Structure 1
Amino acid sequence: MQVILIQDVDNLGGSTELVTVKNGYARNYLIPKKLAIEATPSNLKQLDEKLKVKAKKEAAMLAEINKVIAVLKESAIKVGAKTGTSGKIFGSVTTLQIARAIRDQKGYEIDRKRISIVEEVKELGTYKAILDFGGSNTHEIEFEVVGE
């Protein structure tokens, strides 16, 4: 029997996937637990429409991400930090400081949880950070630590 999975099922498939399973497994487990629905022509048509809408949203989101990345790669983001006389930073630069610098300098609000710093920042200079927009959308940006 063919069913359309509503949720991810271990060792079977992901959400909105069309899979073939035994009749008993579908009728006694998947359908009663609302993990799948029967693959009738009307359900297949609804699945097709849902996938088209999802693809359209993903394309729009990817275009927006590419626009943000293009703006961020134009120039390095400057992050201010208090330093001693030798150029060492008091403390270190955090993802929160980078997120605020992006917001203030470029006008884009990026969640600090999506930013990861490649190496520990303890001195003035140029460093790299990785922005993770989910899935395979990760991009590397540069930021410059300057003394305040």
Structure 2
Amino acid sequence: MAKLILTNEVTGLGEPGDVVEVKDGYARNFLIPRSLATPWTKGAEKDVTAIRRARKAREIASLDDAKALADSLKAKPVTVKANAGPSGRLFGAVTTGEIAEAVAANGGTVDKRKIEIGQPIRALGDYSVSIRLHPEVSAKINVKVVKG
């Protein structure tokens, strides 16, 4: 088992600054190459407080603000334009970055790392996407993928 310090949020594992133990292969082949974690050392333990402080600064300050943002996001459907073939199948897939840009065009601000897409969006149509705004608040928004 490898002991690591997470530098980014990993769904199902933890948040930045958390110290976790995972299997060696998962650490060596996935987390460390993608810069999602760093190996734990006594010296790196000091960095945990800095990582947690940076995470707090990025988080939405209060639960009420997160709930208000969730309500405003739910009220406005988001439209994403994508290149598609005649059958409606996309050339590629809709990314979290494209969804974050579409939310910004609607007047909201969301970090693309907080957007969770269940299955890859690879066809035109309507989809439901979850956004984690706060540890206690998650918003489901409607994303409409249109030919563009």
TM-score (norm 2): 0.56
Quote how far apart the aligned CAs of 1:119 are. Answer: 1.8
Name the one with the larger strand percent: 2
Structure 2 portions without partners, runs of 5+: 1-17, 19-58
> 1 CA distance for matches of 2:100 and 2:88?
23
Asked if 1:111 is matched to 2:128, the reply is no
Higher helix share: 1
Could you give the per-residue CA deviations for residues 24-65 of structure 1, whole angstroms, max 9, x where no partner exists?
xxxxxxxxxxxxxxxxxxxxxxxxxxxxxxxxxx9x621111
Instruction: Extract structure 1 runs of 4+ deviating beyond 3 A.
Output: none
| Alignment size in residue pairs | 91
Q: Which has the higher contact order (CA 8 A, sep 6+)?
A: 2
Structure 1 CA distance, aligned partners of 2:79 and 2:114? 18
Report the equivalent of 1:30: none
TM-score between the two structures when normalised by the length of structure 1: 0.56
Percent sequence identity is: 32
Q: 1:125 & 1:77 partners in 2: Cα distance? A: 12
Deviation track 1:53-88 (CA, whole Å, cap 9, x = no partner) reads: xxxxx9x62111111111111131101101111111
Aligned-CA RMSD value = 2.2
Match of residue 48 from structure 1: none
Specify the alignment match of 1:65 in structure 2.
Answer: 66
